A and B are shown apart, each in its own frame.
Chain A
């Protein structure tokens, strides 16, 4: 059995009175494509934030690539790449400049930079657009560029927080092809969240389902389907988490997103 690259043990997090994570425990093996599924407000994003050192947990232990975020945050930050749910590119820079900036942050030597950027831009098929400003890119192109950026420092793990949300099926398939290829060629472990169950069923080699801050099931999609005696992962997911619609409280983040939509219309 291969080694665990992400180990999460008894993770707890409370926002005010709300317990967002309750003893969350799971492992991700090396070179796995790990799907992290759950309804809205289940604690997916919070878990990713804690894993990526943006947020501190209240209690519990995390190890990524053998590092503890509390003791060596910078080592962990070098071990993973991330594609956020909301875009985080600098629109006023070109594709190339965005990637170059990333190299500066991760202290990649100047002599290496050009080679790496060229390689990765060719992988995501954006090399011929390298000198175009990012603000002129389509949603799918931005996503591809973000994935490229996340891979630039050769991370062991790539976090993808809803990487295909708001994209058409063609682009979704395309993006997943890249992800699979990177996983196969570079051996990068992929950790992703999504609401598209067909994606998870198709691409994830292992799945954890989280609901109300608790991990409620772990297994391959086949195992989950078999256990719930359903036909596909979507039905299995619904059976595991229940059919009720989650009434999530409107968060300040939702307000921000709304504002963004209005402003960009």
Chain B
């Protein structure tokens, strides 16, 4: 799906964007779509707990002499790793379509951001799944939480020229820190990147704590 987004938006909106004098839209879009693929995959991996604790392996781990914290950390790391790898694959794929990485030295930092986003949203998914007892609430969360997070993160359009309200929402949206940082890192600038890194790191730690608290109280 992220690939579809990239191609449809990238080549569809690209010409308008260029006409408006903003440069290459494809260059702009790729970091956003990378974040999107990480966002979706990691949240899904968390949500899958609903399923897994009833029909899957998770139930076996819940009665094993292992602490709930260990289980939660293990699951979150697992989900985050998958999402992270998907982000990497996506980055490689976009190179095929003509994406240019301006600054290779910044790549390790880009990976760090990708990993943090993956961890944050995997923990968010875990937290949500711990509260839900059926997949029914899932659509709701997809539509009213995940999609807005994606659309209002600056992944598709630049935030700083958007209306004030959207700018405000983007400020409290963890994904927007990731999107903007990855974007500037890939294009060779490090403005605000370290502040963003700090913010995202703190948010991720908080989310992991919330997630593990909810997980250990989870009803089966």
Given contacts A54-B63, A106-B65, contact A255 B57 (CB under 8 A): no
Whether the Cβ atoms of A90 and B65 lie closer than 8 Å is no
Whether the Cβ atoms of B133 and A252 lie closer than 8 Å is yes
Whether the Cβ atoms of A90 and B135 lie closer than 8 Å is no
From A77-85, A112-120, A180-188, A197-205, the one touching the partner chain is A77-85
From B48-56, B89-97, B118-126, B146-154, the one touching the partner chain is B48-56
B20 at the interface (CB under 8 A from A): no
Whether the Cβ atoms of A105 and B219 lie closer than 8 Å is no
Whether the Cβ atoms of A89 and B57 lie closer than 8 Å is yes
Q: What is the number of contacts between chain A and chain B, taking CB atoms within 8 Å?
A: 59
Whether the Cβ atoms of B64 and A106 lie closer than 8 Å is yes
Interface residues of A in 68-87 (CB under 8 A from B): 73-75, 77-78, 80, 82, 84, 86-87
Chain B residues, Cβ within 8 Å of A105:
60-61, 64-66
| Size class of the B contact interface (CB-based, 8 Å) | 20 to 34
Whether the Cβ atoms of A88 and B65 lie closer than 8 Å is no
Given contacts A54-B220, A78-B65, A105-B66, contact A88 B135 (CB under 8 A): no
Whether the Cβ atoms of B63 and A82 lie closer than 8 Å is yes
Question: Which chain B residue has the least Cβ–Cβ distance from A149?
Answer: B60
- Chain B 62-75 per-residue mask, 1 if CB under 8 angstroms from chain A, else 0: 11111000000000
Interface residues of B in 23-68 (CB under 8 A from A): 50-51, 54-66
Chain B residues, Cβ within 8 Å of A255:
134-136
A109 to chain B, nearest CB (A): 15
Question: Which chain A residue has the least Cβ–Cβ distance from B62?
Answer: A54
Q: Please tell me which one of the listed residues A74, A75, A87, A149 contacts residue B55 in the complex, with CB atoms under 8 A apart.
A: A87
Complex Cα spacing A259 to B54, Å = 12
Q: Please tell me which one of the listed residues A52, A77, A149, A252 contacts residue B134 in the complex, with CB atoms under 8 A apart.
A: A252
Whether the Cβ atoms of A55 and B135 lie closer than 8 Å is no
Chain B residues, Cβ within 8 Å of A75:
65
Complex Cα spacing A256 to B58, Å = 15
A9 to chain B, nearest CB (A): 22
Whether the Cβ atoms of B63 and A52 lie closer than 8 Å is yes
Question: Which chain B residue has the least Cβ–Cβ distance from A105?
Answer: B64
Whether the Cβ atoms of A88 and B219 lie closer than 8 Å is no
Interface residues of A in 207-265 (CB under 8 A from B): 252-253, 255-256, 259-260
Complex Cα spacing A255 to B50, Å = 12
Chain A residues, Cβ within 8 Å of B61:
105
Chain A residues, Cβ within 8 Å of B64:
77, 102, 105-106
- Chain A 85-97 per-residue mask, 1 if CB under 8 angstroms from chain B, else 0: 0111110000000
Complex Cα spacing A231 to B44, Å = 54
28 A–B contact pairs at CB < 8 A? A54-B62, A54-B63, A54-B220, A55-B219, A75-B65, A77-B63, A80-B63, A82-B63, A86-B59, A87-B55, A88-B56, A88-B58, A88-B60, A102-B60, A102-B64, A105-B60, A105-B66, A149-B60, A252-B134, A252-B136, A253-B133, A255-B134, A255-B135, A256-B50, A256-B54, A256-B55, A256-B134, A256-B135
* Known contacts A53-B63, A105-B61, A256-B51, then 9 further A-B pairs from the complex at CB < 8 Å, ordered by chain A residue: A54-B220, A82-B63, A88-B58, A89-B57, A89-B60, A252-B133, A253-B54, A255-B136, A259-B135
- Seen from chain B, the residues whose Cβ lies within 8 Å of a Cβ on chain A are 50-51, 54-66, 133-136, 219-220
- Seen from chain A, the residues whose Cβ lies within 8 Å of a Cβ on chain B are 49, 52-55, 73-75, 77-78, 80, 82, 84, 86-90, 102, 105-107, 149, 252-253, 255-256, 259-260
Closest 7 pairs between A and B when the two form their complex, measured CB to CB? A105-B64, A252-B134, A74-B65, A88-B59, A252-B133, A77-B65, A90-B57
